[in-house]
Structure 1
Amino acid sequence: MTSKSSMIAEMIPTGEATAILPTGKTSPITVIGTESIRGTFDDLCLQQALNSRLAPGVTELVLNPDAHCGYGAPVGCVMVSPTHIYPGPVGVDIKCSMSLLQLDLPSDAVDDRRTRRALIDAICERTPTGAGKGQRNVSKARKVEVDLGERVVTEGASERVCQELGIPPHWASRCEDAFHGGYRESSDGLRDRLGRLRGQRQLRQFENKISQLGSYGGGNHFGECEVVEIGDDDRARSVAETFGLIDGQVAFLSHCGSRGLGHQLASGQFSSLQAKFHQWGIPLPGGDRQLVYAPLGSPEANAYLDDMALAANFATVNHLLINALVLEAFQEVIPGTQGQLVYFISHNIARQEVVGNVKSWVHRKGATRAMPGGHHALQGTPFEQTGHPILLPGNPRDGSAVMVADAGAEKSCFSVNHGAGRVLGRKRAQRELDQTAIDREFDEHDILSNCRRYPRDEAPAAYKDFDEVLKSVKQAGLASEVARLKARFVIKDASKADD
């Protein structure tokens, strides 16, 4: 493998926060990040980027400022192909996503620590955390029977599904995608696929997986009570009004995905495709078993697109249900509370989009869509004039951001990073970070948590400098900040990550 120093030397700066990484065989990789951010890309991350760019059918690859080594392709990359589908640049937590709920509460409604502790308890009574945890583990969850679960994964956030789960149906209009239809773009096709998977026992313990609807999982997934601070410029205030953000009021930010169902479907697809590559003697891109692929139109590609859709529909409804349960918890503690969904947006998905006048599959792994006002894909949505909300989690200490795309986002295939990105691996963070210092920092910032001890591998110091990451996005001309979200409490789990 090429050394880090020589790899970094190959990056050619093209602006304050942009560069290219030549591959020697194709058009170069687009790199987004200031010089200091580019220094955080380690050997494996850069090698994965090169392997991915040189893989069959790939026409563009973007490396975002949060990039770090991932599953085949780096987390924090965008990979474009008009001819092939790749499971690796989607990952095992299909449609891991962000959502934001705006509440009608002033910030002082959560000043009192006893109120925040009561809210934490009320939320945790409804939305379990931890790998494998589901409805049976908490007392006030929505119970989802198997037949409803089947409709969830084959219909997504349909009006019928939302009504049965107590989710406001109009929230579906605030979703990047409320429904994924698989390669046939139909619920009927997904029902056929689901029936085959269950009949062949490839989707084991479906009932148990469905019981995880309305739960966060473990690792880097979280729920976070925020106070909204809208930027003081005219554009930020105008865009915030369209988004439904209210300055100085409470909001709730959630990060989770498709839980055990997505993991099982993704793992099954990796195993199946890896067996095909072995059987046919096909060379793996960069020799990496996690970069298996399928040509579009093949039975293997069709199967993957269907399975990705099943998991993505689960993730969509999972987020909407979590937001409904969080609102219910606030109403229990602070009667009369009202809330509206601002947006729900994914960062682990492949979507069919037009890139350079060519219809392609845009794989976003730890990257999120960033389409500015006037983009054709936003016609008929509430955001066609402004661009849609971009939800970027940072860390509880430094806050998170709501952004909106600028015209320059075209250079990154209308994508930005999904957050700060790890700078310390989980094992290294566990070894090097001091638990007492982490807990003291939360106390100093008056941020509560449901964890007895905040997990060291999820501490702010385990992630890149969020302000430098945002600086990269802004200086590259990709997006502008609309609001900063300041944490008041965090719902988290200390168990193994399922992202």
Structure 2
Amino acid sequence: MSVLNVNGKMLRTIGFPQGPVIRTALTVIEEHYQHYDAVALETLLKSILENPAAYVNDAIAGEIATMLIAATTSTTIPLKDTAVPYAIFGQDHIEAGALKQMNTAVRLPVAVAGAIMPDAHQGYGLPIGGVLAAENAVIPYGVGVDIGCRMCLSILDLPVPSLTIEEHTYKKELNNHTKFGAGAAWKKLTADPVLERNEFKEIAFVRALLDKASGQLGTSGSGNHFVEWGTVTLTDAQNEWNLPVGDYVALLSHSGSRGLGAQIAGHYTKVAKERCPLPQEAANLAYLDLATEAGQEYWLAMNLAGDYASACHHLIHKKLIAAMGATLLARVENHHNFAWKEMYQGKEVIVHRKGATPAGKGVLGIIPGSMTAPGFIVRGKGEESSLQSASHGAGRQLSRTRAIASIKPHELKQVLQEHGVTLIGGGLDEAPGAYKDIHTVMAAQQQLVEVVGRFQPKLVRMADAGEPRED
């Protein structure tokens, strides 16, 4: 976050409540904190937010703290005195902020059980890598802003040497058939059944998003979203497709529901906060009762966004597979920002996986590494203590701000060369050094999944550096 670009949206993202407190904070920042760097300012603001009472007597920050306290002294729904237990996988590699957020989440009145994955890091509301089962309630920020963000892997019949011999062709088609970034859209629209869904007609808020959804179908977001060519090495002779073990050309994509999902998330988070006032530390975990009209409306909109995300991936893969004259041999895909109705200890619950992969017994999924590190095709073991979940990737060890500040362009270039990876777009915030070691993460979840195969990136397409985040 840049001091020069601080605005209300950024403060709300950090967790500041809508209203006068944001106006006060912006004024104080403008008058007194222009000399702070981005990381120091973000750290200070989060500290004031977490414990405003500690800053009330501060000559400068006290004005923000006083407004925060006033904004949160209205009637709130209390948290449970005793948290429901939750399992931690890979605790040595999880930052304190993520655990603190999880400790709050499991004290929600609707909390039934929880788990945190080894790739976890601090987010907003539920931590990234957090899993929470709730009773008849859905938490918009427990799903996340990018509803239905997912992985999709296609294994193809192309010869592996062609990735090197015909790299120019792979690169050209990757550029021709992908679009990245906030607001990215195709001029020529593609028809798809998801655009004919009743939700676009029956939910007033969603109806207004149809035009944006039509243009963005088959596009990808910014941040860590990608489409990449690489090789898959199948290691399990008993794989679900009866393919021989060995190496294959593969196409892997990671993105979500674009502007459609972001708008749905923002709207229903606001509704939830209005209807479910929680203590300040839990404000971003506001939930909607599924017995209410608002809860049912969000549930329908969330599922629409998830299906839309899936359709985006399928269109991207369809175009690229056709462009390369390939045949699809196998496909694996999964959401990792979503909520599901599942059974837990004989009772139906709503399982939120915010940056976590479904890992029910026999369920296939994909856990990526980074632009140079391998990803893994996995088969779930159905571990109940993890709420049948696994990590959704390696997980960040550096925030975007810290990665940009500490990783140099020549360092990224060097690591790409060492791993034989060609990068189109991308920025320092997505450099491999910003992520945890995927092998360490996988070692921490052997209880949760078994490995079926391994994906190695070779040609990676991402949004251009500096592209603003929409989803």
For the aligned pair, the TM-score class normalised by the smaller chain equals 0.7 to 0.9
SS at match of 1:223: strand
User: In 2, distance between residues paired with 1:45 and 1:489?
Assistant: 32
1:359 to 348, 359, 372: 348
2:376 and 2:295 mapped to 1: Cα distance? 36
**2:189 aligned residue:** 143
Higher relative contact order (CA 8 A, sep 6+): 1
Helix, strand or coil for the counterpart of 2:123? Answer: coil
Q: Percent identity?
A: 29
Secondary structure (helix, strand or coil) at the match of 1:490 reads strand
Q: CA deviation at 1:421?
A: 0.6
3-state SS of paired residue (2:141): coil
Match in the other structure for 2:131: 78
**Match among 289, 299, 309 for residue 303 of structure 2:** 309
The alignment's TM-score, normalised by the length of structure 1, stands at 0.75
1:197 aligns with 2:205: yes
> Does residue 403 of the first structure (1) align with residue 378 of the second (2)?
yes
Deviation, structure 1 residue 240:
5.5
Matched with 2:281 is 287
Q: Which amino acid aligns with 1:213?
A: L
Residue number in structure 2 paired with 1:27: 84
Measured at CA, do residues 213 and 497 of structure 1 come closer, stay the same or move farther in structure 2, by a change above 3 Å? same
Cα distance in 1 for partners of 2:89, 2:353 equals 15
Q: Residue 369 in 1 paired to residue 347 in 2?
A: no
**Structure 2 segments unaligned to the other structure (5+ residues):** 1-46, 52-79
Aligned partners of 1:56 and 1:84 also within 8 Å: no
The residue that corresponds to 1:448 in the other structure is 422
Once the two structures are superposed, residues 18-77 of structure 1 have per-residue CA deviations (whole angstroms, 9 ceiling, x without a partner) of xxxxx97133221011xxxx2332232112101111012111110000111112000101
Aligned pair partner of 1:436 in 410, 413, 428: 410
* Correspondence for 1:425: 399
Q: 1:344 to 1:71 in 2, by over 3 A?
A: same
From 319, 326, 332, the counterpart of 2:320 = 326
The answer to whether residue 112 in structure 2 is matched with residue 59 in structure 1 is yes
Amino acid at match of 1:296: L
Distance 1:300 1:208, change over 3 A: closer
Measure how far apart 1:241 and its partner are: 3.9
8 Å CA contact 1:60–1:80 kept in 2: the answer is yes
Structure 1 residues 95-114: aligned runs within 5 Å: 95-112=148-165
Matched with 1:296 is 290
| Aligned-residue RMSD, C-alpha | 2.2
Extract unaligned runs of 5+ from structure 1: 4-22, 137-141, 156-187, 332-336, 373-386
Distance 1:205 1:154, change over 3 A: closer
Contact map agreement 1:54 1:285 (CA 8 A) in 2: no
Task: Find the counterpart in structure 1 of residue 10 from structure 2.
Answer: none
| SS of residue paired to 1:216 | coil
Q: Distance in 2 between matches of 1:395 and 1:31?
A: 23
Q: TM-score, normalized by length of structure 2?
A: 0.79
Q: Partner of 1:134: helix, strand, or coil? A: coil
Return the alpha-carbon distance in structure 2 between the equivalents of residues 245 and 220 of structure 1: 32
Q: Any conservation in 1 of the 2:195–2:210 contact (CA below 8 Å)?
A: no
1:247 offset after TM fit, Å? 2.1
Is 1:228–1:245's contact at 8 Å kept on the other side of the alignment? no
User: Quick check: 1:153–1:313 contact (8 Å CA) kept in 2?
Assistant: no
Equivalenced residue count is 393
Which residue among 430, 433, 458 is the counterpart of 2:430?
Answer: 458
Indicate the residue corresponding to 1:215 in structure 2: 219
Q: Which residue of 1 is the match for residue 177 of structure 2?
A: 126
Question: Aligned with 2:227: secondary structure?
Answer: strand
Change (3 A) 1:240 1:111: farther
Residues 433 and 130 of structure 1: CA distance in aligned 2, closer, same or farther (over 3 Å): same
* Displacement after TM superposition at 1:289 (Å): 2.6
CA contact under 8 A between 1:230 and 1:240: conserved in structure 2? no
Shift of 1:398: 2.0
